């Protein structure tokens, strides 16, 4: 059920232009939210723009104090926050706790500590004859109003979480959450007010795709997380106004298991990160390549562990492992990928179909005898499927892992750490874990971003906050002559002297 605080809002915002919010685990409509028009979005952006200078002026320490208040608010209200996330996504409370609340509170703490350091003036040493004696630095200045367009699978960590560095950099933010899961964003808006954020520093624009397009038009910079298909539309829209944009898009993340791997650890990791959040994670394990000598043993472990998973409507902690399919059209994609694989010769050894009855569920599914002719190995499934392919050796595994238009995350499993790192450095992806799986996402010091069609730009690390800023280069001449040596009027003697200096500095030598 919707939280007590959401029920009045559902009544207030119901109507012809309202969007119904569904609990995918029960099919129940739990709230309605406004479908904001372009004019309404423009007004929100105007309010945010008026508030931005004051927000920037309170300094890093002032912003950190407010964001720390938000972190504490999230922890104090954790039961309500988790219940809201579970209600609108259908995920188990453990997924909401670990991948949403833990991640977001840790990130707030990280940015409160690192923002000032990462955005401090960057001193630059001169390397040119013409800049000797000059003071030079780069100052990072907020864009102004940042639009964050969030996904439905992680309505806290990948929506509000991406607002945190933008806010800490001195921007105000308009968050456009997915119309499928907007309630968590509205809860964060309440939390920011209670944490002491000034009016209009953080605003939420609920609505559909047209609302998102209006956000792109109205703001000064956009960060988008979602599908590659929608990311292209965001980029095309941003190009009309030359609005800077960063994109975290789809993935088809490979897992490579070598014959000397710790198979028990690897199998546990594959099952957890293949099926956690119902497989609805951009960095889920979407395909597994296992060396032939250990293939049968590894598959046996996966089958045993997958059959033991509990699926159903989320209840108390510890009651289920796999929740619902959050976004209705995703069920069709999952089913299509499984059926395509079977038609082309794959075998389903666990699961393979939708669950009958209340709610929207797809069984945790293990596929074997797969190859790259099948959609389950080449297209993003974004559901609880784990296709496992036998390979001759590491070289074949690497070739297949890189045979994709995506490049978001990956993992490689071996007891030979030196070889593991060497092979990891040949995977074409934004991140690779050796003997671990996607823990790099929790390492906020590391950049997280995609290659190829998995996106552009990063979240986390210094680059993940500098992207929300203009880089402003400043050069100061403390003392200088009335006329520099290279100023008008040009003189023959000066030109000859400069020519001699050029040769002395750069020693051209004889051509080889």
For residue 496, the number of C-alpha atoms closer than 13 Å in the C-beta half-sphere is 3
Residue 489: cis peptide before it, omega within 30 degrees of 0:
yes
DSSP state of 338: H
Query: If residue 106 lies in a helix (H) or strand (E), which one and from where to where?
Result: helix 103-118
CA 358-359-365 angle, to 5 degrees, is 110
Candidates 22, 56, 88, 248; catalytic one: 248
Candidates 282, 376, 433, 469; catalytic one: 282
Nearest Cα to Cα of residue 207 among 180, 230, 225, 242: 180
To the query of whether residue 248 is one of the catalytic residues in this protein, the response is yes
Count other Cβ atoms within 10 Å, centred on residue 457: 17
Nearest Cα to Cα of residue 276 among 364, 396, 344: 364
To the query of whether residue 376 is one of the catalytic residues in this protein, the response is no
DSSP characters for 259-278?
TTS-HHHHHHHHHHHHHGGG
- Alpha carbon 278 to its chain centroid, in Å, reads 17
Cβ neighbours for 343, distance < 8 A, ≥ 6 positions apart: none
Cβ neighbours for 63, distance < 8 A, ≥ 6 positions apart: 55, 115, 167, 168, 170
Task: Return d(Cα 125, Cα 168) in angstroms, integer.
Answer: 28
Owner of token pair 């500095």: 505
Catalytic center residues: 248, 282
């Amino acid at each position: 059920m919707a939280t007590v605080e959401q029920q009045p809002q559902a009544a207030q915002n119901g109507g012809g232009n309202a969007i119904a919010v569904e609990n995918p685990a029960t099919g129940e409509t739990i709230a309605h939210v406004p479908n904001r028009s372009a004019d309404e979005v423009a007004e929100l952006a105007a309010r945010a723009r008026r508030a931005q200078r004051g927000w920037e002026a309170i300094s890093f320490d002032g912003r950190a104090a407010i964001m720390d208040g938000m972190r504490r608010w999230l922890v104090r209200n954790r039961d309500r926050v988790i219940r809201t996330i579970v209600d609108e996504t259908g995920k188990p409370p453990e997924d909401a706790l670990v991948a949403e609340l833990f991640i977001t509170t840790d990130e707030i703490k990280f940015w409160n500590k690192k923002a000032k350091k990462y955005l401090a003036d960057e001193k630059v040493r001169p390397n040119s004859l013409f800049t000797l004696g000059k003071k030079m630095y780069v100052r990072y200045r907020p864009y102004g109003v940042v639009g964050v367009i969030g996904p439905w699978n992680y309505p806290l960590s990948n929506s509000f979480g991406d607002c945190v560095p933008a806010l800490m950099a001195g921007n105000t933010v308009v968050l456009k959450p997915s119309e499928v899961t907007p309630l968590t964003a509205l809860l964060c808006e309440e939390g920011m007010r209670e944490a002491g954020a000034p009016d209009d520093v953080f605003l939420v624009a609920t609505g559909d795709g047209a609302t998102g397009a209006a956000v792109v038009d109205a703001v000064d910079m956009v960060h988008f997380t979602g599908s590659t298909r929608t990311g292209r539309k965001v980029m095309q829209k941003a190009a009309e106004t030359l609005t800077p944009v960063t994109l975290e898009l789809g993935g088809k993340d490979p897992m490579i298991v070598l014959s000397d791997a710790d198979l028990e650890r690897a199998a546990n990791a594959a099952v957890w990160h293949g099926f956690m959040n119902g497989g609805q994670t951009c960095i889920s394990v979407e395909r597994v390549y296992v060396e032939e000598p250990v293939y049968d043993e590894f598959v046996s472990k996966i089958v045993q562990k997958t059959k033991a998973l509990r699926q159903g409507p989320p209840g108390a902690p510890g009651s289920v492992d796999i929740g619902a399919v959050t976004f209705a059209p995703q069920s069709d994609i999952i089913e299509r990928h499984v059926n395509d694989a079977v038609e082309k010769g794959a075998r389903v050894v666990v699961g393979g179909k939708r669950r009958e009855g209340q709610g929207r569920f797809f069984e945790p599914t293990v596929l074997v005898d797969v190859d790259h002719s099948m959609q389950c190995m080449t297209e993003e499934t974004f559901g609880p499927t784990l296709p496992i392919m036998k390979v001759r050796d590491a070289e074949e595994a690497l070739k297949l892992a890189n045979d994709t238009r995506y490049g978001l995350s990956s993992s490689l499993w071996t007891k030979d750490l030196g070889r593991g790192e060497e092979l990891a450095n040949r995977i074409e992806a934004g991140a690779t874990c050796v003997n671990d799986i996607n823990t790099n996402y929790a390492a906020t010091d590391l950049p997280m971003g995609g290659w190829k069609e998995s996106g552009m730009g990063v979240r986390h690390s210094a680059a993940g906050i500098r992207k929300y800023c203009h880089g402003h280069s400043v050069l100061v001449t403390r003392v200088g002559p009335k006329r520099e040596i290279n100023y008008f009027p040009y003189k023959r003697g000066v030109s000859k002297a400069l020519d001699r200096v050029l040769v002395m500095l750069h020693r051209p030598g004889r051509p080889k």
